[in-house]
Chain A
Amino acid sequence: MKWSIGIDIGSVSTKGVLYNGQVWHSEVISTGWSPSQAGKEVLERLLLTHGLTRDQIQIVVGTGYGRIQEGMFDKTFSEITCHARGSSYLLPEACGFIDIGGQDSKVVALAKTGKVRDFVLNDKCAAGTGRFLQVTAQTMGLEVSQLSDLAREANSVAINSMCAVFAESEVIGLLAQGISKSCIIAGLLQSIAKRIGVMAGKLNFQGCIIFCGGVAQNQVLKGLLSKEIGCKLFVPPKPQSIGALGAAILGYDLIKEEE
Chain B
Amino acid sequence: MRAQTMAYFDQLIPSGMLLAKEAKEQGRNIVGYYCVFSPIELIEAAGAIPVGLCATKQEPIAEAEKVLPRNLCPLVKSSYGFAVSGKCPFFHFSDLVLAETTCDGKKKMYELLAEHKPMIVLDIPNSSNFEDNQEHWIKQVYRAKAYFEKNLGTEITEEKLADVIKIYNEERKLLMELVSLNKQHPTPISGTDLLKVMWGRSFQFKRDEFTAKVKELIAELKDMAARGESASQVSSKRILVTGCPTGVGQEKVMRIIEESGGAIVLQESCSGIKAFVDLVSEEMDPFEALADKYSKTPCSCVSPNKRRLELLSRLVEEYRIDGVVDITLQACHTYNIESYSVKEHLKKKHNLPLLQVETDYSDADSQQIKLRVDAFLEML
Contact = CB atoms under 8 A, between A and B. Distances in A.
Contacts of B353: 117-118
Interface residues of B, number: 10
A8 interface: no
A153 to B, nearest CB: 38
Nearest to B374: A78
A24 interface: no
Contacts of A116: 375, 378-379
A80 B371 contact: yes
A78 B378 contact: yes
A81 interface: yes
Contacts of A124: 365, 368
Nearest to B372: A121
Given A80-B371, A123-B371, A117 B365 contact: no
A234 interface: no
A73 interface: no
Nearest to A64: B371
Nearest to A68: B370
A116 B373 CA distance: 13
A81 B375 CA distance: 6
A77 B371 contact: no
Interface string A16-59: 00000000000000000000000000000000000000000000
Contacts of A99: none
A89 interface: no
A78 B375 contact: yes
Interface string A92-129: 00000000000000000000000111110101100000
A80 B375 contact: yes
Interface in B333-380: 353, 365, 367-368, 371-372, 374-375, 378-379
9 contacts: A77-B378, A78-B371, A79-B371, A81-B375, A116-B379, A118-B353, A119-B372, A121-B368, A121-B371
Interface of A: 65, 77-81, 115-119, 121, 123-124
Interface of B: 353, 365, 367-368, 371-372, 374-375, 378-379
